[in-house]
Structure 1
Amino acid sequence: MDFFMQSLLLTLLTLVASIFVLQKRRKLLVLGSTKSLPPGSFGWPLVGETYQFLFNKIEHFLQERVQKHSSEIFHTHILGESTVVLCGPGANKFVSTNETKLVKVSYMKTQRRFFIIPDQRHAPMPKPTQEAASAAPVKILGILKPEGISRYMGNKIESTMNQHFITHWEGKKEVKVYPLVKAFSLTLGCQFFLGIDGPKFASEFENLYFGIYSVPVNFPGSTYHRALKAAAAIRKEIQILIKEKIDALSKGQVVDDLIAHVVGAEQDGKYVPRLEISNIIMGLMNSSHMPIAITLAFMIKHIGQRPDIYQKILSEHADITISKGSGTALDWNSIQKLKYTWAVAQETMRLYPTAPGAFREAITDITYEGFTIPKGWKIFWAFIGTNKNPKYFHEPESFDPSRFEGNAPVPYTWLPFGAGPRTCPGKDYVRFVVLNFIHILITKFKWEAILPDEKVSGSSIPIPAEGIPIRLHHY
């Protein structure tokens, strides 16, 4: 038996070693005679450095390799694909200013399964479909501009917030912030994006959000498996809603929500595939619901820990409260006046980033900093690579909203919504919702954080381990 086990172990080790050698050879063949690949490592056979990327906190993964290679560009192998990682202000500027010229939006193979995105290198979308589908993003841009948000959100956000506070906050001495703001964000998102009342698919949207950056192992119980199931359920529901919106619009009914706005592209004679619409809506919901909740939760925590910050915010909101009245939603002009409150939100997003980065693909061989990024390789554009770097932010672990007052951070050192032509289209929606929520909250309550040293869990996305309990004091 011992001999058998030793033989089996030797066979397995030989197999693993062979796979490793073949993987190395394959990658070198991809490079051809190129000798200027950025420094780095392809990691273990098959899995590459995926586990280090996902389980060691992405920011630590970046810091360790930047320090090891003395370079803000390095190669790796994550989520099943050869990838060059770019971080730092120079890289941020390079990627954002070369969209469509040198790089294009791309998703890892494992991520495409969530949105049923075809691999365009092997199955390009037919030209007529590409032209038609472009009508949907164009429609979205109008409603997601500040004036569109104010128009469509004004009454909805006011009634939703007031009902939320009446139900979950008023009369309470203590609350846990994180689950409450998650419920609020989802309720509002369902109204704005889907046109339905009440939160729906709470667990599905959360599973999808955390599944984007998860180990792509598809077996029951895994994070990735739950995310795939969630995406399928959400997509099915959205396609039912699309049919309902089309029927309503064909009957001349007025429907004011984002999904109807996008579907309205069909009335212009341009067919937009329902899968494309569902991908757009699901993507917008995914990139706004949980980020709003996480930002609000940690923002409320820090305000509750810092009386100086609380007083500045209260003072800033006082004039608006006098002119508009307590419990009234803000329009975009009022939002623009809340400069210090937004600085607090920005500092929160710097310390607790909800998007570690984005994937791109090299359209051609790219030369950057003396290195070559081969055509077809994935690029992980690490937004968070600068967030806690003392070169760009003094005492980076401290919470200091003054960083965003007066002289803003050095360009391209802080990109919570990306940059360039592919800047997140929902950034104004996030700002509108976060500042309106804080406005209503601070006109109703004073509070303090019960657990100032509460642990933050999560490797890629920050999550408050205890839900951020606070003690409330009613005015």
Structure 2
Amino acid sequence: MDFLLQSLLLILITLLSLICVLQKRRLDGTKKLPPGSFGLPLVGETYQFLFTKIGHFLEERSKKYSSEIFKTNLLGEPTVILCGPAANKFVSMNDPKLIKVWYMKTQRRFFNIPDQIHATMPKQVSVSAAPVKILGFLKPEGLVRYMGTKIESITHQHFMTHWEGKTEVKVYTLVKAFSLTVAYQFFLGIDEPHHVEKIATKFENLYSGLYSVPVCFPGSACHRALKAASAIRKDIQFLIKEKIEALSKGHVMDDLLAHIVGAEQDGKYVPKLGISNIIMGLMNSSYIPIATTLAFMIKHIGQRPDIFQKVVYEHDDIAKSKGSGTTLDWERILKLKYTWAVAQETMRLYPTAPGAFREAITDITYEGFTIPKGWKIFWAIIGTNNNPRYFDEPENFDPSRFEGNVPAPYTYLPFGAGPRSCPGKDYTRFVIHILITKFKWEVIFPEEKVSGTLIPTPAEGIPIRLYHI
């Protein structure tokens, strides 16, 4: 299977390289291109990018060429890698003045994004984003306001079912199930456990295929993701019909899908054909990333008594202030500052958003180099995370670095920046509050290996021993 995959990859990149050659011939020979290498003929450096740890890929080339900018060839496309605070600011401030979003072929297929994205996507994005911004659904306070006691009820039910009475659990498996359950309630208004269990594998396959080789033969990650996307889309389209019928009967629903469908029915915002892709994209971007952050937070809190005790003190104070039987409101969530520092340090060491692709709309002059029009840009958001210039002893887990003196501007962007920054970033504090008030725990494998190339994954699932309070 590996040999077949590599063979098909070579065939694909051979075809894509023809486009690359034509692009290179159009370049003005007087332009000063960034340092770097396009890699092997035809193949480029696609394999290294997709199948080695992204941090290693960036570090090796930063040392060899430049820590700020270098060129390569990815997926048959001449690509410039941008790293560092200056790059973070540049991309944040110039999107979409000089650059535009670019999606890999796999992503375009999964979410039905037109190939000519520059001609059609801006209108669709502005239209589809309107109700989301108006309703405030994707803001942390929106989660609290629209779900009210529902999220607390889901959380308690989850712990009662999967944690209570257990002496050992695998954290990563459980927080993934929990994250998807909340996503289904929040985005779709579904709280049926069997439905969530049925769809979980589909979302895992979809997420795993986002950065896969764009060769979809049976058994490949791309093929599994494509099938999963189709199945999820059908499920959501069926729910859209149910929402339309319920709304026509005067039923009141607070999930995001119901609000978008309602807005569309009024002829204001989103065409029906785009609703399923919008919801699928939002759910996909909030499922594994939140679960990954929660899992590694729980691991580090459990194996560091000093951190555990500080978190306990903070949450005890919040619990006393809100009283029993009272929902943890947004105002109190904001007071969990040390817990948020733990979350930030977790995301620094275990980033779930390694970067994003862009495309140069015009010739761009950056740091004395030219990024030619049409070239792709990989914005390496994590490029500063392990750099000692910005974080002392970056290999150490130290939440205190996010207390008081926060990192300098644009040195740490776990969710991106600007108009496309990631929503829902404060979600973890609520979950840790419920957990820390119910249990103490011990990490069974403190030195557990972390696998994954672009997204960190605990090799053993972070097994822990539970001690009920």
TM-score (structure 1 length as normaliser): 0.90
Cα deviation digits, residues 319-372 of structure 1 (max 9, x gap)? 211133468542110111000000000000000001111111111111101111
Ranges in structure 2 where 5+ consecutive residues have no aligned partner: 1-10
- Cross-structure match for 2:94: 98
The Cα RMSD (Å) is 2.2
Contact 1:162 1:327 in 2 (8 A): no
Match for 1:227 among 216, 225, 228?
A: 225
- Cross-structure match for 1:116: 112
Where do residues 387-426 of structure 1 align in structure 2 (5 Å cutoff)? 387-424=385-422, 426=423
Cα deviation digits, residues 109-137 of structure 1 (max 9, x gap)? 23211111002268x3399xx37x63431
1:107 aligns with 2:103: yes
Measure, in 2, the Cα distance between the counterparts of 1:121 and 1:158: 40
Change (3 A) 1:173 1:22: closer
- Cross-structure match for 2:34: 38
Contact 2:106 2:222 in 1 (8 A): no
- Cross-structure match for 2:246: 248
Match for 2:436 among 436, 442, 457?
A: 442
Measure, in 2, the Cα distance between the counterparts of 1:172 and 1:20: 52
- Cross-structure match for 1:137: 129
Q: Cα distance, 1:21 vs. partner?
A: 9.6
Change (3 A) 1:315 1:83: same
Write the letter of the residue equivalent to 2:314: E
- Cross-structure match for 1:9: none
Measure, in 2, the Cα distance between the counterparts of 1:184 and 1:234: 18
Write the letter of the residue equivalent to 2:339: T
Measure, in 2, the Cα distance between the counterparts of 1:189 and 1:91: 32
Q: Cα distance, 1:20 vs. partner?
A: 11
Tell me which structure has the larger Cα radius of gyration. 1
- Cross-structure match for 1:57: 53
- Cross-structure match for 1:311: 309
Cα deviation digits, residues 36-64 of structure 1 (max 9, x gap)? 12112222344321110011211111111
1:468 aligns with 2:462: yes
Q: Cα distance, 1:153 vs. partner?
A: 2.1
Measure, in 2, the Cα distance between the counterparts of 1:329 and 1:355: 31
Match for 1:204 among 202, 205, 211?
A: 202
Cα deviation digits, residues 395-446 of structure 1 (max 9, x gap)? 111000001000101111111110012112x2xx3413x1111001110111
Match for 1:378 among 376, 379, 387?
A: 376
Measure, in 2, the Cα distance between the counterparts of 1:276 and 1:44: 39
Match for 2:260 among 255, 259, 262?
A: 262
- Cross-structure match for 1:299: 297
Write the letter of the residue equivalent to 1:408: V
Cα deviation digits, residues 47-88 of structure 1 (max 9, x gap)? 321110011211111111111113421111213322211111
Ranges in structure 1 where 5+ consecutive residues have no aligned partner: 1-14
Number of residue pairs matched by the alignment: 452
Contact 1:330 1:436 in 2 (8 A): yes
Q: Cα distance, 1:196 vs. partner?
A: 1.2
Measure, in 2, the Cα distance between the counterparts of 1:24 and 1:180: 44
Match for 1:352 among 343, 350, 353?
A: 350
Give the match's secondary structure for 2:391. coil
Change (3 A) 1:28 1:80: closer
Measure, in 2, the Cα distance between the counterparts of 1:303 and 1:313: 8
Contact 1:136 1:265 in 2 (8 A): no
Give the match's secondary structure for 1:201. helix
- Cross-structure match for 2:71: 75
Contact 2:297 2:346 in 1 (8 A): yes
1:161 aligns with 2:155: yes
- Cross-structure match for 1:288: 286
Contact 2:354 2:380 in 1 (8 A): yes
TM-score (structure 2 length as normaliser): 0.91
Change (3 A) 1:145 1:271: closer
- Cross-structure match for 1:277: 275
Contact 1:81 1:108 in 2 (8 A): no
- Cross-structure match for 1:239: 237
- After superposing the two structures, state which structure 1 stretch, 21-30 or 455-464, moved more: 21-30
Match for 2:186 among 184, 192, 206?
A: 192
